[in-house]
């Protein structure tokens, strides 16, 4: 018997369940590209919350963007439903999707809803090491039958891009343990100006960008607008968070400041990059460390 992908009839529909999380959504796109290249005839949908929909808009590897509702998924009539999210809601949706093939990683909760249990990425890749999130997600496609090979850069598509000399700075994060201090980012912005780039601070609507008011700030912009900004930028500096993965997807040189996350799992994927960290956490990262990283990467800008 062949692989799952070999067994799918020509023109079958596949649904990839992702639901949420900015960085995870971005890092799902290499897996989608692998699936598209392996079976270009398939109709591929991504099941994702509306607030992250823009991440997949205009992506040629995606034929449909579905809301995370059972009605929408059943109307799509997938032959393959692959859950890359792993939570209870995604498991319930996958279980009732009507798909003949329901795949999820073996470590997911509610294993009983899947009739295909994907093993550890290390087993699929044949390498016993810490794997990056992009590798972990792509390994599911290899296990389903795609040819094992290089995992591409994440893919985002932006509209109305105007190339410029902006250095996008993301000085906020979900938790204090992942947020570097404001005076450090201000020093970085001053150095960015000296290098001939325009510092542009970005954040969500609820983020306080007041400490950076001396520079251009953009708070609460739709993701489509953030994509356009990053696609036309020259550089990115920020905390370990979703926008850093977006910047890497556009091939920007990126400096990412890490706190308690593992850069081997969450570091910038396939772009010129510098990861800055310090023993004891993000509060111990010195301004000079970040400025030195900026200097090392400026040749790529």
SS3 at position 137: helix
CATH number for 238? 3.40.50.2000
Q: Please tell me the distance from the alpha carbon of residue 254 to that of residue 166, in angstroms, as a whole number.
A: 13
In a domain, residue 153? The reply is no
Same domain, 170 and 285: yes
Judging by DSSP bridges, how do beta strands 198-203 and 216-219 pair with one another? parallel
In a domain, residue 115? The reply is yes
In a domain, residue 151? The reply is no
pLDDT of residue 217: 98
Give the pTM: 0.97
Task: Give yes or no for residue 75 having a pLDDT over 90.
Answer: yes
pLDDT of residue 2: 84
Task: Give yes or no for residue 33 having a pLDDT over 80.
Answer: yes
Give the pLDDT band of residue 298 (cuts 50, 70, 90): confident
Same domain, 189 and 127: no
In a domain, residue 200? The reply is yes
pLDDT of residue 1: 60
Q: Mean per-residue pLDDT for 121-128?
A: 96
Same domain, 272 and 178: yes
DSSP string, 61-100: T-SEEE-S-HHHHHHH--SEEEESS-SHHHHHHHHTS--S
Same domain, 124 and 239: no
Same domain, 121 and 39: yes
Q: Which long-range contacts (CB under 8 A, 24 or more apart) does 291-296 make?
A: 291/187, 291/188, 291/191, 293/255, 294/188, 294/191, 294/192, 294/195, 294/235, 294/237, 294/255
Point out the domain boundary residue: 144, 174, 203.
144
Cβ 121 vs Cβ 133: under 8 Å: no
DSSP state of 42: S
Give the pLDDT band of residue 282 (cuts 50, 70, 90): very high
In a domain, residue 89? The reply is yes
In a domain, residue 149? The reply is no
Cβ 34 vs Cβ 5: under 8 Å: no
In a domain, residue 229? The reply is yes
Same domain, 11 and 89: yes
Q: Please tell me the distance from the alpha carbon of residue 44 to that of residue 14, in angstroms, as a whole number.
A: 5
Give the pLDDT band of residue 156 (cuts 50, 70, 90): very high
Same domain, 45 and 108: yes
Same domain, 173 and 121: no
| Angle between helical axes of 133-144 and 22-38 (0-180°, round to 10) | 30
CA-CA-CA-CA torsion for 195, 196, 202, 207, nearest 10 degrees?
Answer: 60
Give the pLDDT band of residue 38 (cuts 50, 70, 90): very high
pLDDT of residue 301: 66
Same domain, 67 and 170: no
By percentage, how much of the chain surpasses pLDDT 70? 99
Point out the domain boundary residue: 110, 144, 178.
144
Write the pLDDT tens digit of every residue in 232-271. 999 999 999 999 999 999 999 999 999 999 999 999 999 9
Chain mean pLDDT for the chain: 97
Write the pLDDT tens digit of every residue in 173-227. 999 999 999 999 999 999 999 999 999 999 999 999 999 999 999 999 999 999 9
Domain range holding 109? 4-144
Same domain, 180 and 239: yes
Sequence-ordered list of residues with C-beta below 8 angstroms from that of 9, at least 6 positions apart, any chain: 79
Same domain, 21 and 129: yes
CA-CA-CA-CA torsion for 49, 50, 55, 56, nearest 10 degrees?
Answer: 80
Question: What is the number of domains present in the chain?
Answer: 2
Q: Phi and psi (nearest 5°) for 49? A: -65, 150
Q: Phi and psi (nearest 5°) for 13? A: -105, 140
In a domain, residue 157? The reply is no
List Cα–Cα distances, 233 to 125, 126, 154, 171, 297, in angstroms: 34, 37, 17, 16, 14
Cβ 145 vs Cβ 38: under 8 Å: yes
Same domain, 140 and 194: no
């Amino acid at each position: 018997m062949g692989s799952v992908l070999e067994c799918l009839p020509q023109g079958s529909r596949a649904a990839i369940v992702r639901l949420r999380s900015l960085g995870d959504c971005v890092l799902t796109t290499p897996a989608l590209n692998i699936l598209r290249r392996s079976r270009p005839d398939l109709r591929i949908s991504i099941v994702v919350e509306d607030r992250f929909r823009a991440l997949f808009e205009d992506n040629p590897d995606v034929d449909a963007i579905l809301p995370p509702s059972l009605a929408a998924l059943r109307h799509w009539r997938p032959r393959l439903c692959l859950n890359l999210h792993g939570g209870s809601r995604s498991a319930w949706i996958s279980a009732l999707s009507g798909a003949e093939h329901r795949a999820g990683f073996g470590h997911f909760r509610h294993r009983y809803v899947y009739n295909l249990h994907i093993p550890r990425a290390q087993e699929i890749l044949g390498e016993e090491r810490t794997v990056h999130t992009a590798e972990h997600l792509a390994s599911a496609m290899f296990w389903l039958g795609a040819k094992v090979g290089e995992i591409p850069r994440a893919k985002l598509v932006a509209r109305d891009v105007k190339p410029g000399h902006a250095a996008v700075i993301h000085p906020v994060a979900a938790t204090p343990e992942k947020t570097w201090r404001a005076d450090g980012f201000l020093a970085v912005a001053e150095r960015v100006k000296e290098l001939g780039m325009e510092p542009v601070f970005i954040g969500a609507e609820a983020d306080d960008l007041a400490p950076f008011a001396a520079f251009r700030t953009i708070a609460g912009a739709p993701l489509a607008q953030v994509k356009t900004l990053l696609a036309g930028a020259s550089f990115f500096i920020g905390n370990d968070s979703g926008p850093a993965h977006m910047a890497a997807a556009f091939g920007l040189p990126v400096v990412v400041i890490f706190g308690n996350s593992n850069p081997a799992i969450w570091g910038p994927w396939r772009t010129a990059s510098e990861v800055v960290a310090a023993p004891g956490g993000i509060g111990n990262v010195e301004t000079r460390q970040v400025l030195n990283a900026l200097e090392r990467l400026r040749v790529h800008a």
